[in-house]
């Protein structure tokens, strides 16, 4: 039952945040590309370009990856094909996006 609530929570979060609309993000200048991911790498850019904590969850709400990146490149080659929720924390700001791995 706990997983069901997590799935609903992340589903609502993804509806609230659109990839094309950067004004919905608390992180200034947040950009995520390419999405869908086809080459195992995704780039995350922000205005501050500070270290970012990355959390990735599967559709059941299980955390599948937690890491910190210093630049803008994130290696996702360990992830299987599917739909994920990406949560980026930079300083005291956060952004959540849907991430598709092909």
* Predicted TM-score (pTM) of this structure: 0.74
Task: Sketch the domain layout of the chain as residue ranges.
Answer: 2-101
Q: Which one of 2.60.120.260, 3.40.1160.10, 3.40.50.880, 2.60.40.3080 gives the CATH number of domain 2-101? A: 2.60.40.3080
What is the pLDDT tens value at each position of the chain, 102 positions in all? 666 665 566 655 555 554 444 444 589 999 999 999 999 999 999 999 999 999 999 999 999 999 999 999 999 999 999 999 999 999 999 999 999 999
Count CB neighbours of 13 within 10 A: 15
Query: Quick one: three-class SS letters along 56-72?
Result: EEECCCCEEEEEEECCC
Closest CA to 13 of 65, 81, 86, 76: 86
């Amino acid at each position: 039952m706990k997983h069901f609530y997590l799935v609903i929570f992340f589903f609502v979060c993804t509806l609230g945040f659109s990839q094309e609309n950067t004004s919905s993000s608390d992180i200034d200048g947040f950009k995520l590309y390419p999405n869908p991911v086809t080459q195992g790498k995704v780039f995350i850019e922000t205005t501050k370009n500070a270290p970012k904590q990355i959390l990735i969850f599967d559709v059941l709400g299980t955390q599948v990856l937690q890491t910190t990146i210093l630049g803008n490149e994130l290696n996702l080659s360990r992830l299987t094909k599917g739909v994920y929720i990406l949560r980026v924390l930079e300083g005291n700001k956060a952004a959540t996006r849907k991430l598709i791995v092909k």
